[in-house]
Amino acid sequence: MSDAAPPSRTGRLTAAVTAFGQMGYNARHRFVRDVRYLGGVGYLVGDTLAWVVRALVFRRVKLGASALASQMVRVGVRSIPIVVLIQVFIGIILALQLAPTLEDYGSLEKVADIIGLAMFRELGPLLSAVVLSGFAGASIAAEIGAMVESEEIKALRAHALNPIRFLVVPRLLATVIMMVGLTVVADVVGVLGGLLTSWLVLDIHPWSYLDNTQVALFYRDFFTGLVKGGVFGVLIAAIACYEGLNVTGGAEGVGRATTSTVVKSIVALIATDCVFTAVFFIFKL
**Residues engaged in binding other proteins (CB under 8 A):** 62, 146-147, 150-152, 154-155, 157-161
Nearer to other proteins among residue 4 and residue 160 (C-beta) = 160
Q: Are 227 and 256 in contact (CB under 8 A)?
A: no
Report, in Å, the least distance between residue 71 CB and other proteins. Answer: 11
Report, in Å, the least distance between residue 148 CB and other proteins. Answer: 11
Q: At what angle do helices 169-200 and 9-57 cross, to 10 degrees?
A: 100
Nearer to other proteins among residue 85 and residue 155 (C-beta) = 155
Nearer to other proteins among residue 202 and residue 237 (C-beta) = 237
CA distance 97 to 93: 6
CA distance 86 to 90: 6
Q: At what angle do helices 250-282 and 138-149 cross, to 10 degrees?
A: 140
Which segments within 128-189 are labelled E, that is strand?
none
Nearer to other proteins among residue 121 and residue 171 (C-beta) = 171
Q: Is 66 exposed, middle or buried (0-12, 13-18, 19+ CB in 10 A)?
A: exposed
Q: Are 181 and 76 in contact (CB under 8 A)?
A: yes
Report, in Å, the least distance between residue 157 CB and other proteins. Answer: 7
CA distance 58 to 40: 26
Report, in Å, the least distance between residue 118 CB and other proteins. Answer: 40
Nearer to other proteins among residue 159 and residue 284 (C-beta) = 159
Nearer to other proteins among residue 73 and residue 161 (C-beta) = 161
Compute how many other C-beta atoms are within 10 angstroms of the C-beta atom of residue 246.
16
Nearer to other proteins among residue 52 and residue 61 (C-beta) = 61
Report, in Å, the least distance between residue 217 CB and other proteins. Answer: 42
What distance separates the 2 farthest-apart alpha carbons in the chain?
A: 84
Report, in Å, the least distance between residue 175 CB and other proteins. Answer: 18
Q: H helices then E strands: how many in the chain?
A: 12, 0
Positive or negative, the CA dihedral 232, 233, 235, 240 is positive
Report, in Å, the least distance between residue 62 CB and other proteins. Answer: 7
Report, in Å, the least distance between residue 55 CB and other proteins. Answer: 13
Nearer to other proteins among residue 146 and residue 227 (C-beta) = 146
CA distance 181 to 229: 9
